[in-house]
Structure 1
């Protein structure tokens, strides 16, 4: 088996194991009676029991035509079975269980027929736990075992009740003596309530491929888009938030609520993603009071507007009726681009869907400035409602009302009094163009901002680069100046030395010149002294010749020597002079280089500043264009709380025109229904006789008819329990848009039928509040998951529709490294402090924001009352509460505040209901957290109960933040915890610690 099959099989087993509960103490030990192991005459036995029942109930004969009884065979303790199976399959210790549940193995019902009894058709119910109890293993297919049992019982009771009973009891008594019977006023109404509502749809999913189911089970396979809007976060995602909030992504339609208030930032993000994203599965995580219903209203309004647009684009508003459903009755197929915007709301919580569909059509939901306009449109308005915008579907009774409503709508449209108004198409188109133009104008500014942002980044980058380079260049310039000064000094020193040398050489030259002149004169003087007849005297070697020659040679040598010296000095002088010129040239070159560097630096600086100035000017022009517009762009730089409260781009004027467009769309819808009243009329006829069309060749008519019904009534609801019954004849992808409310409360398997039949799914809820009510313990569920090798990340006791949809959603929020949730809503508008702070700190990481108009503190405290507990109930706590509420009711006689009493434990609830009934306090205002999910009151008391004798129960109550979170967020103004403070503090629970911090802070604030 593949992963999908494993999970679905495990879920089927969970549903089947959930069946067959029997509480033998129900009805004060009167409802179920133990069946004897033998009897002389079973017919007489049961006849007497039925007569006693009739007499006790004082039932008239006309009321007892379906009187009968049901026998429950082999009742056993469920935990024994689980432990036996754990041993057999060698499962871990945590799968073992310890509870007081009892199950029956199988049951069958009999109805009175004359003087005997007859087996009721389809009344036999064989539980999977009963099969495992008797056989020590899971059945391959319980339905096959049940079919075999049906055949055996049918044969056994075909002719003779007495004989059949004798054989059956004899056989069963050998297996178990724990057999019971129940007398029922109408035994025919019992059977449907025993079987799970979801198994057929789980089998449907097993036998069909569906991308939505695969994604629902195994999550989004791509990279998630983390919509972290906190600029202080490392995962802050400005890019995707900015793109999502571009004006072109905003809806054109809006529900007619007060236009002064726009959606908060993340509400708008969720709406924009919902109406534009191509993903088929989207999750929204909304803590209490964050406006989940509000954003759904705006999504619904946009889908209605888009349908009206598609209608106005049709050349012929009357659609050809191409399919015959009965004799001359025909129906048209609604175009896909209109049909695929229909809306279905589902939840496991009947109260949740009732709240939505009952609230949407109420006049009180319409802002006064739009009320007359929408009433003039008259979308089948009735007392208290502005129009037939939403209705409950689901269970059979509701479906009948829905069909009757469509019937009456068709009747109105067919009546002679109805006035057709084709101008509505023109009026809508005109208003559509107006709103679209406003949106386009805003987008132009957004496009300018898109140009502006990179330019600002560029300016910032270039400014930083300029400053950096300027600093570098100034440093370089200073370094060059320093090096130049150093070099110039060196050159000057060399020049000074050379000039000194030259001066010395000049002196030497002058001295030698003087000596040369004297030497020349001396030489001439010697020559003048040359003897007469020197040649003759030389021949005769006269002494005078020798003297003359010596004097001449000496004078010549001296002159030669002086000439050589002079030449050397001249050469040295020239060398030094050349070196001097070289130094002077080098000095000039240094000056030129320095000036060149200065010039280049000034040129670079001027050009860089010119470019920055030009860029600043371009930015200023864009900013001026933005600032002179009527639009307020997104500013992600503002403080976190301001950002979360912000709704960029559009103001009240746009919201007014959006609303007017929605009202115009409603008028188009009504006129379009008039143009196609034959199809509308056919739709209710088909659904009224739906079984007649449940054949393979006619099933498509059911889907065609549904598209008209869901178009006529834009929003229809159902519970998941009723989903299979309502849509059993509609196939995969036959539902356009499924919106799941309070998805955190729904078991994941309950939505499979809805998911596989829907094209697009959006789930809103909060896993941090109440988790699904699962009738089986975690141990049993773990055993089943292990048996089918199904992923325990999916098959467990804490997963919900919300957690699976969140994982399947591309857009979401990385809450922790391990936890990915759907798109978060952060602005809380229900509770004052300390309730807000308790919830925010224990469940939402401090990310929620409280609007400025709610900053006035409420009240809260921990009332420390100890006492001995009896099944978690502490009498002293009950008496204190009785006294406290009595005082409140006495003080506030004229305007009594709403008060809820919440406890984690059922027995505490029961005992408090009894205690408070003596002062006239409503029983319905006392309950567990499940009782008040989605509700609110002025004052809430959380009665923890338990004592040191029941430490396990006390620890469980505060082990997870969910219970405290729900209890605190039911209270709008005041929240009080009653319990043994020392006991609960001893657990070192983060939930308790953070709660006490918030309560203490609140009391300090109140004391100031």
Structure 2
């Protein structure tokens, strides 16, 4: 059906929209420090003159704005309502979502009046109320819009003061009521009514979050949504494009069903090591490298991931599996470096800096100002890098690490300072938020930046800080060395002063470093070709050696078969001769019998002649003579009688008697003559027959005589040995001939193999001698041990030796220098372009700004700041003006924690995505019970593979990546994308535990011993890792008070040993336990405490895992042990020590925890 695939993809996105209805934003707990207030009956409201906020003096351009949340409800209550609605299972355990949200929210201005149009109804509360009576269905999304309109209608009635004496149709602006407690209560009632949750979802209470905002934007409501899913609006927008066939390549691939993915093209890098050298060859290594210690090359797997990502083509998705401690950020930095260098190479190819622009200009109005954007040439675009994640900490970590000075090697600090790629702006962007800093008891240490390589955007506060620090900031005093100038004043100063360095000089400086990099590449490539050829020759020689043995064996076999055939033929010859002699004797006997028969025939034929001559012939001649005489006599007698024939007279006289008598006598005589005549004829015939027989008999005599002569002669000459037709001999002879041919062929084949062996052996010797000169590359040279020693092979990428690493890092710095020179040469155009970009980033651009204009402005910003970060929650608002494939690169971090729908908007707007994460660490947290989610999926007609609770952004990307490996899971194995394998965080036994339970031995331990030795030397009395076995006497939910007391003792011990609490982490699988742990942590500054879910991305020297778990609810333990993920994250946080507190007998029976028990010694509680 036309459009069927687009509709299928669109339906998946629509299903995810329905799921997102149950993903509300959390409402913060009351906290006066954070200006979050609970509305109480007898206390002033935050906008009242006698509230504490009124005592804070604001600058004239600032104003208060208050977000009011009415109808506070707990998210675990939503979970419980839905669980009871959709076939609850009392024996199962699901981790409930924590936190609270609200039924509705709206804005109050500094005067205490509502901001019209700011009202928001909670889709989660509404959908929960609806689920209480109806099955979920696709039209819920439209129904919620109707409910939102109803709430708006009710809310507008509440916020508007009644005006007496004014006609009903008067169009004058309504008077807004000043909010007091009563008005707030009316809003709460309207919200509960519109949401339809009465009797279904408990909701009560009102909270207010007060914010200081710019006065000019205080009443802006465009795009505001305080309650509902951050990504819902973007999902709706993108879903429409997808349904219309406008998905783009990356998102189209992302939505490809599993049964249409070709698994036959997959290459398991653990099984197919032979594919790795080409993928990590010098030609595949990017020219740019992060300026880290040149002696610390990327691990082989990291380089493989970098090369795979950069080699994906114009569009695509690459999944990278990043187990804990395997250097995901390190890998991403090299991708970014490569892109910056490649763009610099394209800048260097320009005849002049002005050629960077196409000549096309985009314009739009901002108030009285006209923004002008000069469009960059296409070849300079496509390098935009966005780092995104559902985890705010993850994106902050990446984009804070990249520009921080400690991210580069100490040896590079001087060179980076020379490049001077706006380090002061980078430092300013790394500084804590002034608003947050003012609330902190102890200000955070200042982090210096080395280059403006990345910026944290995302939410509105981050964007505002970025615009101020990056663009507008002007030093208050020229003497203040701690202050900095934003790029706007820098560009303006450059407009007024010509550059001392020409563009040609800047390009030449870049080209010089680039040439050095490529010269080394060619050198390494030549060695790689030799290494490749040597391995080919060695493999060929191994094959030839086998062929040589096989050829010799074939020749030996052929010779054996020939000898056997010869023996068989000889035996057949002897048998043939024996048979011939037998035949000869038989022939001689036949000859003798022939002569005897001939002699007898002669005698018999002669006797026959004599018998005929003496007997039959005599009788025949006598018979002829006698009958001839008798015939003559009888003829004469008749003649005489005829002469006496009576005349007519006598006849008459005798009255005819004489005539009759004469006739009778004549007839008798005629008969006698006739008889004699016949007898003569017969006698003559007999005589002739006798003569014939005599001739035959005489001929027989002659023949017999000839036969006798021949037989006699033959006997006299002797009987020759006959030629016997003996078929086995014929077969044997044919076999022998074939065997002889086989021997000849085998001998020739052996000769050819021997020549080939000699040629290959000589080439191998020559190659080995040539490669011996490259031993200086050491670890980076893939010699024979590279193939057999996995630890050596995985520890460092080949070819990336310090010399080349140094040159490649220098090239990144040269690329940044060229980018800076470009800005120096083109200050006016770039100022205009970046000013337009600041409008977009800051939220001041027109809502109807064209996608092309916005894209052009963003491209200029990325030309200056290569990387920006955002959470998925803020992505749609940050890049809302952009459309399909507008950006070059999307780097998704911690993708294993992201639900599949989170990445939809980002993938739609990008060409290439590198998805980094680990499906074996924390999985996405969903607010829906599985049965509710599955009911929604069924109603949309979507395949189960798209259930958010069953997959993640990482899992979808992994299955699309042909280069990877298989890891075990509950269903057998799961395919993961390019795996990072060198772990550099945990000591034993933590490394061994996680490598066993989750990774099937995939990782190798690259942590080394130095850090542990220093730690052990510092804390010699600290016990080794262990499991403290403790069976609690009671339980409060999943919190075991006895475990808490044991935790207190351990923390005191650690404190007494001098271990800083900032190097200690206490975690638990359960929220109940984590809450109590948090209370204990309150008195220990620096201590990190919480659930395991809050710990991913963090690490500590010492980790204490408090197991907890209500003994009366064993399903909770089974939940924690159902997959390796939770335990994997918990254990892999610990760098030096892991202490487990809990019931050893119960927990060690659970899957994966059995492995934990095997590696950790069991210990008594600390007294």
1:611 Cα deviation from its structure 2 partner: 3.2
Task: Tell me how far apart the structure 2 counterparts of residues 467 and 900 of structure 1 sit (CA, whole Å).
Answer: 64
* Aligned-residue offset at 1:725: 2.2
1:704 and 2:856 aligned = yes
Q: 1:48 to 1:459 in 2, by over 3 A?
A: closer
| CA deviations over 1:449-504 (Å, ceiling 9, x no partner) | 555555555444444344334323312312332443565578689999999999xx
What displacement does 1:198 show?
0.5
Against the structure 1 CA distance between its residues 705 and 101, is the aligned structure 2 distance closer, same or farther, given a 3 Å change threshold?
A: closer
Q: Distance in 2 between matches of 1:277 and 1:399?
A: 31
For residue 297 of structure 2, what is the aligned residue in structure 1?
A: 262
1:891 aligns with 2:928: no
Judging changes above 3 Å, is the alpha-carbon distance between structure 1 residues 651 and 485 closer, same or farther for their aligned structure 2 residues?
Answer: same
Deviations 1:926-985 (A, max 9, x none): 111233211111111100013423323233222221111111111111111110011113
- 5+ residue gaps in structure 1? 35-45, 231-235, 503-562, 580-585, 1004-1008
Paired position in structure 2 for 1:882: 1048
The CA distance in 2 between the partners of 1:850 and 1:53, in whole Å, is 61
Secondary structure of the equivalent of 1:248? coil
Q: Is 1:665 the equivalent of 2:822?
A: no
Match of 2:256 among 199, 218, 235: 218
- Preserved CA contact (<8 Å) 2:372 2:833: no
1:966 is the counterpart of 2:1005: no
CA distance in 1, matches of 2:344, 2:42: 64
- The alignment partner of 2:388 has SS state of strand
Deviation by residue 1:123-171 (Cα, 9 ceiling, x = unmatched): 4322334444665443524234313432343256434269999998998
SS of 1:657's equivalent in the other structure is helix
**1:805-825 C-alpha deviation (Å, 9 max, x unpaired):** 223334332335652222111
* Deviation (angstroms), 1:764: 0.8
In the alignment, structure 1 residue 914 sits paired with structure 2 residue 1074: no
Q: How far apart, CA to CA, are the structure 1 residues paired with 2:98 and 2:336?
A: 46
Out of 477, 480, 499, the position equivalent to 2:559 is: 477
Once residues 769 and 946 of structure 1 are traced to their aligned partners in structure 2, the CA distance between those partners, rounded to angstroms, is: 21
Matches of residues 588-987 of structure 1 in structure 2 within 5 Å?
602-628=747-773, 632-633=781-782, 637-690=787-840, 693-694=845-846, 696=848, 699-816=851-968, 819-851=974-1006, 853-854=1008-1009, 859-867=1024-1032, 868-892=1034-1058, 898-917=1063-1082, 920-922=1083-1085, 924-985=1087-1148
Residues 1:471 and 1:143: Cα distance change in structure 2 (over 3 Å): same
SS at match of 1:17: coil
Report the CA distance between 1:3 and its aligned residue.
Answer: 2.6
In 2, Cα distance between equivalents of 1:640 and 1:19 = 48
What's the counterpart of residue 325 of structure 2?
289
Q: Is the 8 A contact 1:343 1:714 kept in 2?
A: yes
- SS of structure 2 residue aligned to 1:754: helix
1: CA distance between counterparts of 2:1063 and 2:23?
Answer: 36
Greater mean alpha carbon deviation, residues 592-601 or residues 756-765: 592-601
Q: Distance in 2 between matches of 1:110 and 1:818?
A: 54
Note closer, same or farther for the CA distance 1:741–1:419 as it changes in structure 2 (3 Å cut): farther
Name the residue aligned to 2:695: none
Deviations 1:775-804 (A, max 9, x none): 333233223223323333222324222122
8 Å Cα contact 1:103-1:129 kept in structure 2: no
Contact 2:554 2:746 in 1 (8 A): no
- TM superposition shift of 1:122: 2.7
217-226 vs 652-661, greater mean Cα deviation: 217-226
Matching residue within 494, 501, 508 for 1:420: 501
Distance 2:207 2:1007 in 1: 61
Give the gaps of 5 or more residues in structure 2: 135-139, 163-176, 212-217, 428-447, 473-485, 585-708, 725-730, 1017-1023
Closer/same/farther in 2, CA of residues 418 and 315 from structure 1, 3 Å limit: closer
CA distance in 2, matches of 1:157, 1:401: 33
SS in 1 for 2:1026: strand
Deviations 1:715-753 (A, max 9, x none): 221122222221112222222211111111222222222
TM-superposed CA distance for 1:69, in Å, is 8.7
Q: Could you tell me how far 1:346 is from its partner in structure 2?
A: 1.4
Further displaced range: 209-218 or 930-939: 209-218
Alignment deviations for residues 869-900 of structure 1 (CA, whole Å, 9 cap, x no partner): 2122222222222222212221226x778111
Question: How many residues end up aligned between the 2 structures?
Answer: 920
Please give the residue correspondences for 1:449-468 in structure 2 after superposition, counting only pairs within 5 Å.
449-450=531-532, 455-468=537-550
Q: Aligned-pair RMSD on alpha carbons?
A: 4.7
2:268 counterpart of 1:228:
yes
Distance 1:456 1:774, change over 3 A: same
Q: Cα–Cα, structure 1 residues 107 and 707, in superposed 2: closer, same or farther, change >3 Å? A: closer
Q: Are residues 1:200 and 2:200 paired?
A: no
The Cα of 1:863 is off from its aligned counterpart by 0.9
**Aligned mates of 2:1066, 2:297 — CA distance in 1:** 34
What whole-Å deviation, never above 9, does each CA across 1:522-568 have from its counterpart, x for those lacking one? xxxxxxxxxxxxxxxxxxxxxxxxxxxxxxxxxxxxxxxxx999977
In the superposition, relative to structure 1, how do residues 731 and 25 fare at CA in structure 2: closer, same or farther (>3 Å)? Answer: closer
Instruction: Report the CA distance shift for 1:623/1:832 in structure 2 as closer, same or farther (over 3 A).
Output: same
Q: Which moved more, 1:872-881 or 1:945-954?
A: 945-954
- 1:499 & 1:14 partners in 2: Cα distance? 104
Query: In the alignment, what sits opposite 2:520?
Result: 438
Is the alpha carbon distance of 1:957 and 1:942 closer, same or farther for their aligned partners in structure 2, counting shifts above 3 Å?
same
Q: Is the 8 A contact 2:97 2:925 kept in 1?
A: no
Distance 1:950 1:566, change over 3 A: same
Deviation at 1:25, TM superposition (A): 11
Kindly indicate whether the alpha-carbon contact (under 8 Å) linking 1:20 and 1:105 is maintained by their aligned counterparts in 2. no
1:993 match: 1154
Paired with 1:737 and 1:682, the residues of 2 have a C-alpha distance of 25
Q: What is the match of residue 78 of structure 2?
A: 78
* In the alignment, structure 1 residue 405 sits paired with structure 2 residue 476: no
- 2:11 matches 1:13: no
Return the offset for 1:15. 2.1
| 1:474–1:633 CA distance, 2 compared to 1 (3 A) | same
Once structures 1 and 2 are overlaid, which stretch shifts more, 715-724 or 53-62? 53-62
Structure 1 727/107 Cα, relative in aligned 2: closer, same or farther at 3 Å? closer
Matches of 1:953 and 1:594, distance apart in 2 = 78
What corresponds to 1:369 in structure 2? 411
Counterpart of 1:128 (choices 109, 123, 127) is: 123
Task: State the shift of 1:344 in Å.
Answer: 1.7
Change (3 A) 1:908 1:419: farther
- Distance change in 2, residues 1:207/1:172 (3 Å): closer
CA, structure 1 residues 431+476, in 2 after alignment: closer, same or farther (shift >3 Å)? same
TM-score between the two structures when normalised by the length of structure 1: 0.80
Listed as ranges, the matches of 1:6-45 within 5 Å are 6-19=11-24
Q: Against the structure 1 CA distance between its residues 322 and 753, is the aligned structure 2 distance closer, same or farther, given a 3 Å change threshold?
A: same
In the alignment, the residues of structure 1 paired with residue 461 and residue 982 of structure 2 have an alpha-carbon distance, to the nearest angstrom, of 38
Distance 2:511 2:331 in 1: 25
Q: Higher mean Cα deviation, 640-649 or 718-727? A: 640-649
